């Protein structure tokens, strides 16, 4: 059947099961926007800035495991997607970004709003295309969705000139996808499984670090069965939070730069570390020369380029993570580890996360949010202190419930990502936890939330600073504050201007009533929590330091915070560099 390029794009979306896309129109994509009117089954969300279209698509993808789709016009529209695309590639998020370009005959002639978005995004996409032949468009779109959501997932960009949107073709979509040199990991080799099981069986003090790969592969049940059969404590990376229930007796939270002390201690004292779907990134490992000094490392992953990139494992299991854990579960035997699990619990009891009484802190608010929702809500964060406190104090009990920019560390991500999650899962309670700095980067999406009655609750922690930068200046630059004091608008007047329900809370006594009022309101809500200005995130491993040099929370009893455990040296008096 002869049809236009614009119709082929809409047909591709329906074929891929896409029900929502996020975009902003412009001249060269008008043929596609005109065609959209014929496809009511695909909802288009009109954002107020293209960067937020990418973040919403990202949040949609993280909350569902499906491909998120964003759309922008040529030139500045396309370049405004770049930060969101880079966010997605760093965290392995499946996304298809569709951009328009000038007519194919005008490319290379500096036409109005011409930009080489294909060249710009080569380093930050899994693959990208410039489609100049209408007959190739069905194949390209099918490939784009396939590449985005298979193997190590990531964003794929499809750049389409205006004349390709209007050209006609009878080309059909392919029935199968095959790209030379691209293979999707399947079951791992049996000898790798056998070696991993042997090491697990021999280990006396094993620990597991579960990352986002568990979520991407849908291996949550297999992970839990593995942990419960072998009685191995489970740590999560930042992006792995939610892959293992935080209220499980084997869960010891996050580890690393701002992880819980028990997890970091456990890795440093372990004789076996199982990295399950993680990259062993620098925020987790600290200085790799001091990472897990007593342990053998076994790495489970589907991407061969990750093996040995940061740490040197003695063994690895290369394959689809769900299939890998299924294979391991067939061979491991039920094992009791009473001394090791007791030691881990002792560390948890000795070094708890601290929320001082009688003060109104960011930690106070986030502990209250966790209690209010019972850890059942979807929570999206910006980047900074509040991100770390959310990871510490919000006890995610369900998968795909924590959305955060881990690799790129994108301020302004939290609110639009939360909206994307709410569009994807409308029956879930969704909170965006943001700071006064990051929120001001994307707050224009309040209008989008109002227009679509997107029922997202915003927990705005207002401390008047770029908090994490101020913390580093305090600890590493002799408390010389440089350009971190953060002026803010009157958020109440701002919310009123947009027609958003607003609450301001500055007292502990009003915390629960504020959270309850926000939850009860049907529609977007902005809650401003005016907290103490100078509060620091602890525990902390200083930049460039080993995980064996851990700064404990000064709010712990000094006798506890100065405790020495094996190779560990902890302090609360200052930060080791």
Q: Is 50 part of the annotated catalytic residue set?
A: yes
Please name the residues in contact with 209: beta carbons below 8 A apart, sequence gap of 6 or more.
Answer: 235, 236, 237, 240, 255, 267, 273, 274, 275, 276, 278, 284
Residue whose token pair is 């907290």 = 531
The span from the CA of 501 to the CA of 503, in Å, is 7
Q: How many CB atoms lie within 10 A of CB 574?
A: 10
Q: Crossing angle of helices 261-269/338-350, nearest 10°?
A: 140
Catalytic residue among 90, 208, 396, 468: 468
Rounded to whole angstroms, the Cα distance separating 453 from 439 reads 19
- Residue 367 is a catalytic residue: no
Give the integer Cα–Cα distance in Å for 253 and 396.
10
The yes-or-no answer on residue 255 being catalytic is no
479: three-class secondary structure by DSSP = coil
Considering the candidates 50, 222, 269, 528, report the single residue annotated as catalytic.
50
- Report d(CA 547, CA 555) in Å as an integer: 20
Q: Which of 7, 126, 162, 422 is catalytic?
A: 162
Between CA 396 and CA 378 the distance in angstroms is: 8
DSSP-assigned beta bridge partners for residue 537: none
Catalytic hit among 11, 113, 173, 225:
113
Q: What are phi and psi of 392, to 5 degrees?
A: -80, -45
Residues 403, 406, 407, 408, Cα dihedral to 10°: 80
Give the residue among 130, 217, 158, 180 at the shortest CA–CA distance from 16: 158
Neighbouring CB atoms inside 10 A of 177's CB total 15
Q: Are 148 and 156 in contact (CB under 8 A)?
A: yes
On the 0-12 / 13-18 / 19+ scale of CB atoms within 10 A, 417 is: buried
In this structure, the number of other CB atoms found within 10 A of the CB of residue 242 comes to 26
Residue 71 contacts residue 389 (beta carbons within 8 Å) = no
In the structure encoding, which two tokens stand for residue 363, read together?
Answer: 């930690």
Beta strands in 408-454 (DSSP E): 430-435
Where are the strands (E) in 204-351, listed by range?
A: 206-210, 234-236, 251-254, 272-276, 296-301, 315-318
Q: CA nearest 397: which of 205, 245, 564?
A: 245
Residue 388 CA, chain-centre distance (Å), reads 12
Of 455, 384, 383, which Cα lies nearest the Cα of 83?
A: 383
Active site residues: 50, 112-113, 162, 468
């Amino acid at each position: 059947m002869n049809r236009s390029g614009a119709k082929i794009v809409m047909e591709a979306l329906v074929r891929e099961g896409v029900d929502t896309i996020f975009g902003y129109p412009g001249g060269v994509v008008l043929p596609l926007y005109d065609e959209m009117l014929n496809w009511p089954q695909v909802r288009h969300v009109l954002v107020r800035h293209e960067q937020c279209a990418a973040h919403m698509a990202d949040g949609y993808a993280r909350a569902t495991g499906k491909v998120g789709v964003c759309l922008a016009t040529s030139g500045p529209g396309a370049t405004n997607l770049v930060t969101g695309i880079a966010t997605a590639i760093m965290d392995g998020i499946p996304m298809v970004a569709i951009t328009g370009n000038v007519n194919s005959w005008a490319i290379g002639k500096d036409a109005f709003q011409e930009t080489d978005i294909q060249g710009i995004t080569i380093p930050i996409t899994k693959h990208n295309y410039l489609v100049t032949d209408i007959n190739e468009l069905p194949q390209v779109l099918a490939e784009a969705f396939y590449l985005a959501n298979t193997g190590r997932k990531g964003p794929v960009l499809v750049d389409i000139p205006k004349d390709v949107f209007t050209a006609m073709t009878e080309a059909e979509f392919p029935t199968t996808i095959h790209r030379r040199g691209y293979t999707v990991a399947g079951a791992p080799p049996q000898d790798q499984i056998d070696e991993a099981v042997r090491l697990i069986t021999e280990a006396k003090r094993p620990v597991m670090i579960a990352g986002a790969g568990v979520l991407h592969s849908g291996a949550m049940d297999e992970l839990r069965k593995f942990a419960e059969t072998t009685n191995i404590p489970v740590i999560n990376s930042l992006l792995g939070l939610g892959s293992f229930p935080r209220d499980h007796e084997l869960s010891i939270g996050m580890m690393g730069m701002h992880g819980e002390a028990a997890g970091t201690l456990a890795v440093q004292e372990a004789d076996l570390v199982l990295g399950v779907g993680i990259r062993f990134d620098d925020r987790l490992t600290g200085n790799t020369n001091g990472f897990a000094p007593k342990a053998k490392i076994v790495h489970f992953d589907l991407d061969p380029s990750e093996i040995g990139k940061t740490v040197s494992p003695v063994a690895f299991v290369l394959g689809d993570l769900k299939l890998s854990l299924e294979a391991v579960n067939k061979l491991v035997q039920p094992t009791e580890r009473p001394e090791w699990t007791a030691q881990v619990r002792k560390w948890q009891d000795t070094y708890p996360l601290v929320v001082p009484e009688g003060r109104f802190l960011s930690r106070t608010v986030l502990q209250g949010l966790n209690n209010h929702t019972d850890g059942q809500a979807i929570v999206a964060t910006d980047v900074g202190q509040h991100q770390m406190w959310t990871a510490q104090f919000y006890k995610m009990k369900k998968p795909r419930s924590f959305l955060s920019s881990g690799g790129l560390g994108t301020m302004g991500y939290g609110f639009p990502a939360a909206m994307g999650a709410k569009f994807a899962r409308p029956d879930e309670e969704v909170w965006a936890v943001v700071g006064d700095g990051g929120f001001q980067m994307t707050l224009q999406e309040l209008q989008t939330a109002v227009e679509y009655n997107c029922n997202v609750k915003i927990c705005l922690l207002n401390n008047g600073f770029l908090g994490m930068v101020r913390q580093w200046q305090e600890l590493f630059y002799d408390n010389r504050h440089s350009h971190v004091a953060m002026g803010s608008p009157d958020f109440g007047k701002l919310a009123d201007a947009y027609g958003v329900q607003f609450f301001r809370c500055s007292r502990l006594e009003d915390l629960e009533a504020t959270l309850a009022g926000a939850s009860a309101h049907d529609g977007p809500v902005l809650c401003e929590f005016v907290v103490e200005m100078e509060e620091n995130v602890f525990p902390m491993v200083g930049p460039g330091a080993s995980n064996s040099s851990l700064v404990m929370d000064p709010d712990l009893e000094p006798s506890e915070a100065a405790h020495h455990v094996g190779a560990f040296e902890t302090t609360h008096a200052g930060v080791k560099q």
